[in-house]
Amino acid sequence: MRTNSLRKTLGWIGLYTLWTVMIIVTLLPIYWMIVVSARSRVELFDTPTLLIKSFYTPNYIKPLSDPVFQRYLINSIIVATSNAVLVSILALFATYALSRWRLGGADNIFFWTITQRMAPPAAFILPLFLLFTRVFRLGNWQMFDTQIGLILVYCVFNLPFAVWLMKGIMDGVPPELDEAAFVDGANRWKVLISIITPLVAPGLAITFILSWIFAWNEYLLAANLTSVSARTITTGLAEFVSVTGTNWGEMAAVATVAILPALVFLVFIQRYIVTGLTFGAVKE
Amino acid sequence: MRSNRMGWGLLTPTLVVLAIFGFLPFFYVAYIGFFNWNAFSNQLGMQWAGVNNYRRLVFDPAFLDSMGRTILFAFLAVTTELALGFLLAQTLVKSFPGRAVFRTIYTLPLIMAPIAVGASWRLLTIPGFGPIPYFLDKWFGFDFNLGRYGTQAFITVLVMDIWHWTPFVTLTLLAGLTALPKEPNEQAMVDGANRWQVFRYLTIPMMMPVLLTTIFIRLMDALRIVDEVFMLTSGGPGTATQFIGIHIYRVVVPKTDYGYGSAMSLLVLYFTIVLCWLLFIAMTQVGKQKE
Amino acid sequence: MRVSSRRLFSLLSVLIVLAMVLTACTTVAPAAPAAAPAAGGEAAASADSWWATAAEAAGCKDVTIKGISESTPPSNFSKDVLAPAFEAASGIKVELETTSWDQMYSKAINDMQANTGIYDFVYIEQDIIYSYLANKYLTNISQMLKDNPELASPDFDLAKFTSFIDNFKDANGDVFGVPMEAFIKVYLYRKDLFEDPAVQTAFKEKYGYDLAPATTHQQYQDIADFFTQWGKDNGEELFGSTVQGNTGHSSSFYEFVESIAPSFGVYNWGINQENWKADVANGGEMNSDKAKAALTFWVGLLNDAPPEATSSTWDEVAASFAAGRAAQGWVYGENAAWIATNPEKSKIVGKVGVALPPTAEGVMDDAKSGKGYIGYYDGGAYGLPVSSKNAKCTLLWLQYMGQESVQADWAVAGSRIVMNSTYDDPKVQEVDAKTDNYYTLMKEQGPLFRGAPPFPFHAAVRAVVEPFVWKALTGEMTPSDALDQAAAAANAELVNLGYGK
């Protein structure tokens, strides 16, 4: 009996130690980033300590009051939100269609979209650039350096998983409900909007949030397909690295601001992240 | 009433977006791969090259080095994350006070922008004012310098990737573990099997679908990694961390060798598909044997 | 998360509408950076009417022109001060995108290559002008001014620029870029340390000659060794030299070929410009003994450099030096001013000395005779891509920046001089005094420095040679092997691009 409870206690100690260590390791880079953002340039040259003695607010105030950075932030918000909304709607329509009709061969298309995810991203910069500047134009307007451009391109990454995710949920809604509504005189649209949508709402919410986060975090395409008007905050972050005399303090401040929205969403979605990242293959 | 038109109508917007912004660029990349197109070459414009680019690739030491490095990295990263993730998942199966808090905080790395991940690790490891080199030198007299030692850089990138993605593996495997039925395990224990045998012959085969999903996704992403590594080491020192994603970026952007870069991308994509396919077969065979 | 269908629907529709409205509003009218009109505006006030009239006549009123440049003090000055002033004077709005060095190139090249007309003016670094000219990306400014006399500003005179403008001329002497920044990569040293009697005595005791800014490589080495030891002995974070040795970025390649190798007598990357070969066997010099001596010397300096040297690009070198971590180093002139005068960014204000870099025997004579050079004359211009859709409006902007009247303030803000008269301006002379006469040095000894060689294949060959420089820096290869292989790689790439056989 004695040894059993001793082993149990050791087990608990081990467990808590393990997880405390894990949390410290997880938070360390983020904590250090905040520490750096609180130091002035000259302070940074001193020996590094892990404690925050004073908070050098100009690191935050300067970029945040710079209209260029404000624009980056606003662009990020607009692109991420619009993309999330668009993806949710398109996925809703698409999965409803796939689930309620026999559309020949459509299923296979989504398998091929996985290959998009497998390919190294750098080579797509040039074709997309050419498309945006040469092909998608209307008079003086071109798709390069617009929010619309980014919103549409991000669909390519978000739609596949959104569809896989929503399809599972949609299939779980029995067609009998549709039938019942038809008998009552409703048409397809009404069924979709009033009956189906509320039932799949949790799935839509996950789709929305995960798409939002991906769009917000994306760097490579945002950097190469935008110029002054539609730049996002992630690109702004990368730009810091080559500015004269790399201003680490300001860069850390901007990085901290860049991860804030995701932090806010974290609490809501951490239960669904796995489902999202595994294309719906693994459900929580 | 059940006309297919509405069905296709609902599906079409999605298909259109994917076709224009996904497939079109993809085909264009495939097309360019057959040309010699370099903004700085002596002959301007695109010149037909047939399969010459691909032939060059097969003998290109820089490309092969980079591929080898990437595969090594992917292998080490995925196996470590798998082992660590499984271990951690086991500890989270049973509820205990504080579990929710631990889990929530642990998920943080997954939602950070890759470029922010690279930036934060860079801040930690800059020689001169990062805490890691400073404390390693102070406490162990160890010279930690990412600009100098290729092996150190490689390992740091590995550690960063593990930090970033183990939570994903953990949570996914946890989902799989919690969904497992308990009876077979209990039955086997009653029949006299020990913990190890239960694990090996029951848990693993039942977890196979989840394991496969996890491994595939991690493998695909590890082979494509760019943002974090670029931010942390720029592919250096030298070419020690120049994985294939960065190598292609270097060929396409500063070198403007568009034709070659496109051919390279296609080849890498093909290779990734083949690798995943082989892995799929290997793992399902292993699964079958256990039965 | 149970939400009633009504509420969810309304939430979704609100979001959709909001998103669409925001997208529509902001895509159609991109907000321009709001900047208060600054001092530069006063200087141009008198000529206001000319700019406004010219702009109107060219149909440029209320047009917006876009440009791209690297984010540096000179570019930022043109963005923050000159652009608003120009807008006030002419009605033409200027949007300048400042970004990282690599991004700037890729976007400008993509644009000009694809003829998409995104950028009306682009930054042309002195080393890339040849590639741009070869690809016929740029408009002939001299010709355009001749063809459009109504657009030629009375305040703009190409003859007033320093000889730096020659870099941007073609074979006929026509100008393709209006210089906007120029500086030399000089030898900076810690004046306070060099003049400290205790230091001087200790140095003389150890090495037998007086401590002074190095004129030979041996002296440089001695000084570097001395100060590294001095730092250790006194428990300070002081090292003997900076090294721009980033092992993953082109900056290390550049320090080697622009500054170190020429100081040993290896010019133009060691590439023979008649047969386009780099190796000694075929008439090149990239793997010559002189080159190997240069690389060995430079890599050897890592022993005397702060630990961040192998992660340092030009920015970090300046930062390290400004933090007081090195006693000497090759530093780009654009940094000399702020390191010497700005207490917010520099810990060694007032302690900076400027001198000519050390050279090997015969190199100084080569430079004086024009056969070679002792270091790098860096800089850039703003050019007008052929693909631009607002060429006339942009020409006005380029001339505005090229006015004599704006040069002095620009020089003080960005440590750059591209016009002869700027040297004599009192504001500039004031800064000159504070920076140990950097501007005087640039004016008088500038001709000993030279920009990058006229290589249209600049970027491509750099990309194949730099990995070997990196490997030499990490010690993975000996300098000798590194240069042998680099020369072979350069040969192969040149043949691949169609130069030589």
**Which residues face C97 on adjacent strands?**
C68
State the pLDDT at residue B178: 81
Q: What angle, 0 to 180 degrees and rounded to 10, lies between the N-to-C axes of helices A248-269 and B114-125?
A: 130
| Segment 204-263 of chain B within 8 Å of chain A by CB | 209-210, 213-214, 217, 220, 223-224, 226-227, 231, 244-245, 248-249, 252-253, 258, 261-262
Decide if domain C184-377+436-497 falls under CATH 3.40.190.180: no
Residues C9-24: tens digit of each pLDDT: 444 444 544 444 443 3
Does A122 reach chain B within 8 Å, measured CB to CB? yes
Where does chain C hold its CATH 3.40.190.10 domain(s)? 43-183+378-434, 184-377+436-497
Contact criterion met (CB below 8 Å) for C96 and C76: no
Task: Name residues of chain B where pLDDT drops below 50.
Answer: 1, 290-291
Q: What is the three-class DSSP state of C184? A: strand
Residue C463 has pLDDT above 80, yes or no: yes
Radius of gyration from C-alpha coordinates of chain C:
25
B237 contacts on C by Cβ (under 8 Å): 247-248, 310, 470, 473-474
Q: Of B113, B253, B273, which has the smallest distance from its Cβ to A219's Cβ?
A: B113
Does A52 reach chain B within 8 Å, measured CB to CB? no
- Asked, for residue B35, whether it belongs to a domain, the answer is no
**Which residues face C378 on adjacent strands?**
C183
Which of C241-268 are b and which e, b meaning 16 or more Cβ less than 10 Å from the residue's Cβ?
bbbbbbbbbbbbbbbbbbbbbbbbbbbb
Contact criterion met (CB below 8 Å) for A162 and A96: no
Does A51 reach chain B within 8 Å, measured CB to CB? no
CATH number of the CATH domain containing B249: 1.10.3720.10
Higher-scoring residue by pLDDT: A276, C181: C181
Residue of B nearest to C465 (CA): B238
Residue C25 has pLDDT above 70, yes or no: no
Q: How many beta carbons lie within 10 A of that of residue A208, not counting itself?
A: 24
| Segment 94-123 of chain A within 8 Å of chain C by CB | none
C459 contacts on B by Cβ (under 8 Å): 40, 254-256
| DSSP letter (8 states) at residue C454 | -
CA distance B7 to chain C (A): 22
A237 contacts on C by Cβ (under 8 Å): none
What are the structure tokens assigned to C147, written together?
Answer: 């063809």
Task: State the fold for domain C43-183+378-434.
Answer: D-Maltodextrin-Binding Protein; domain 2 (3.40.190)
C-alpha pair distances (Å), C417 with each of C79, C161, C167: 17, 9, 15
State the pLDDT at residue B287: 57
CA distance C65 to chain A (A): 12
| Long-range CB contact pairs, C233-236, < 8 A, 24+ | none
B239 contacts on C by Cβ (under 8 Å): 467, 470-471
Q: What are phi and psi of A229, to 5 degrees?
A: -80, -40
What are the structure tokens assigned to B29, written together?
Answer: 């990349």
Spell out the alpha helix ranges (H) of C115-184: 129-134, 141-147
CA distance A168 to chain B (A): 16
Q: DSSP letters along B21-63, please? A: IIIHHHHHHHHHTTEE-BTTSSS-S-EE-TTHHHHHHHH-HHH
C462 contacts on B by Cβ (under 8 Å): 254
Size of interface B-C (CB pairs under 8 A): 113
Q: What is the three-class DSSP state of B257? A: strand
Which domain does B94 fall in, by range?
64-290
Q: Of C105, C311, C470, which has the smallest distance from its Cβ to B254's Cβ?
A: C105
Cα C37 from chain centroid (whole Å): 27
| Segment 163-182 of chain A within 8 Å of chain B by CB | 163, 182
Identify the chains in contact with A, defined as 3+ C-beta pairs within 8 A: B, C
- Asked, for residue A85, whether it belongs to a domain, the answer is yes
- The H-or-E segment that residue C329 falls in is strand C328-332
Contact criterion met (CB below 8 Å) for C190 and C353: yes
Cα separation, C112 vs C191, in Å, equals 46
Residue A119 has pLDDT above 60, yes or no: yes
Size of interface A-C (CB pairs under 8 A): 128
| Segment 60-89 of chain A within 8 Å of chain B by CB | none
Residue C292 has pLDDT above 90, yes or no: yes
Interface test with B, best of A277, A279, A283, A284 (most B CBs within 10 A): A277
Show the CA angle centred on residue B249, arms to residues B247 and B253, nearest 5°: 130
CATH number of the CATH domain containing A225: 1.10.3720.10
State the pLDDT at residue A77: 92
- Asked, for residue B31, whether it belongs to a domain, the answer is no
CA distance B74 to chain A (A): 14
Radius of gyration from C-alpha coordinates of chain B:
24
Q: Do A101 and B117 touch (CB under 8 A)?
A: no
Residues C206-238: tens digit of each pLDDT: 999 999 999 999 999 999 999 999 999 998 889
Residue A1 has pLDDT above 60, yes or no: no
Residues A14-65: tens digit of each pLDDT: 889 999 999 999 999 999 988 888 887 667 766 677 777 777 888 888 888 8
Interface test with C, best of A242, A251, A269 (most C CBs within 10 A): A242
Q: What is the three-class DSSP state of C95? A: strand
Higher-scoring residue by pLDDT: A242, C439: C439
Contact criterion met (CB below 8 Å) for A164 and A279: yes
- Asked, for residue A9, whether it belongs to a domain, the answer is no
- Asked, for residue A19, whether it belongs to a domain, the answer is no
Least confident window among A111-115, A169-173, B145-149, C407-411? A111-115
Residue C492 has pLDDT above 70, yes or no: yes
- Name the domain count of chain A: 1
C79 contacts on A by Cβ (under 8 Å): none
Q: What are phi and psi of A7, to 5 degrees?
A: -60, -40
What are the structure tokens assigned to C493, written together?
Answer: 């790439």
State the pLDDT at residue C220: 96
Cα separation, B244 vs B253, in Å, equals 14
**ipTM of the complex as predicted:** 0.82
CA distance C280 to chain A (A): 36
Contact criterion met (CB below 8 Å) for C228 and C393: no
Maximum average pLDDT range among B193-202, C35-44, C431-440? C431-440
- Name the domain count of chain B: 1
Q: Do C459 and B255 touch (CB under 8 A)?
A: yes
Q: Do B111 and A273 touch (CB under 8 A)?
A: yes
When the pLDDT of each residue in chain A is averaged and rounded to a whole number, the result is: 81
Identify the chains in contact with B, defined as 3+ C-beta pairs within 8 A: A, C
Which domain does A214 fall in, by range?
57-277
| DSSP letter (8 states) at residue C169 | B
Does A258 reach chain B within 8 Å, measured CB to CB? yes
Helix and strand numbers (H, E) in chain C are 23, 8
The maximal CA–CA distance of chain B, rounded, in angstroms, is 79
Residues C64-103: tens digit of each pLDDT: 999 999 878 888 899 999 999 999 989 899 989 887 777 7
Higher-scoring residue by pLDDT: C354, A210: C354
Contact criterion met (CB below 8 Å) for C69 and C399: no
Q: How many beta carbons lie within 10 A of that of residue A1, not counting itself?
A: 5
Closest C-alpha to C60, from C286, C479, C390, C373: C390
Return all residues near A59 (Cβ < 8 A) that are at least 6 apart. Answer: A37, A38, A39, A40, A249, A250, A252, A253
CA atoms within a 13 Å half-sphere pointing along the CA-CB vector of B40: 29
Higher-scoring residue by pLDDT: C175, A270: C175
Maximum average pLDDT range among A129-138, A235-244, B117-126, C389-398? C389-398
Question: In sequence order, what E strands does C149-242 have?
Answer: 178-190
Closest C-alpha to C436, from C350, C333, C345: C350
When the pLDDT of each residue in chain C is averaged and rounded to a whole number, the result is: 86
What are the structure tokens assigned to C368, written together?
Answer: 């004086």
